[in-house]
Amino acid sequence: MQHYKDAIEARIDRWCAALPAGGLYAPMAYIMKLPAKRVRPIAALMACELFGADPTMCWTKLWALSCSTTSP
């Protein structure tokens, strides 16, 4: 599980670093850095592995899911 967490953390860091500074993008970076934004992607990658799928094939869909949803 730790390797999934590290991979997701690195991907979020790269995404946030690519955002323009300040303005409308600051809230997006803030939300993506919340710890809750890691739970669903980690669970989905673990489920891929559990059912015999290659977790690396799920990255694009998981990333879209992480960026498009918010935590309650």
3-state secondary structure 10-23: HHHHHHHHHCCCCC
Prediction pTM value: 0.68
Burial degree of 12 (CB within 10 A; 0-12, 13-18, 19+): buried
- Which pLDDT tens digits describe the chain residue by residue (72 residues)? 788 888 888 888 988 899 888 788 888 888 888 888 778 888 888 888 888 888 777 776 776 666 555 444
Q: What is the pLDDT of residue 7?
A: 84
CB–CB of 60/41 below 8 Å? no
- Say how many Å lie between the first and final Cα of the chain, rounded: 24
How do the domains of the chain map onto residue ranges?
A: 2-68
Query: What's the pLDDT at 69?
Result: 52
How many C-alpha atoms does 42 have within 13 Å on its Cβ side?
Answer: 15
How high is the pLDDT of residue 28?
Answer: 86
